[in-house]
Amino acid sequence: MADNKNMELNDKMMANATGGNAEERGSTAIGTVVGPGVSGDPTIYKVHADDGRDIRAHYWAIGKLLEPGTRVKVELIGQAKWEIIQFL
């Protein structure tokens, strides 16, 4: 019984953290990199999604930094955590 309550609470917290019930883990968005997301952390980028959302997404590959204007696909991987999964 307690496990069900914990799962329900986790679902509610996830919905609040990600912007509503429509967004859940595995959701994707397409957008454009507009710049670095956090000063001092080269793995986070600001992405402006085509639907108007501003998303901070991780890109873990080592190498050249992503340039503003790069078109990408991002995926929700956790509570308000997005990851760049594809270049378009």
User: What class does CATH assign to 26-87?
Assistant: mainly beta
User: Would the CA dihedral through 69, 74, 76, 82 be positive or negative?
Assistant: negative
User: Per-residue pLDDT for the chain (88 aa), expressed as one digit of tens each?
Assistant: 566 677 677 766 666 555 554 567 788 999 999 988 777 788 899 999 999 999 999 998 766 678 899 999 999 988 788 999 999 9
pLDDT of residue 28: 93
3-state SS assignment for residue 25: coil
pTM for the structure as a whole: 0.69
Listed by start position, the domains of the chain span 26-87
Q: Which two tokens stand for residue 67?
A: 């340039």
Contact yes or no for 82/55 (Cβ under 8 A): yes
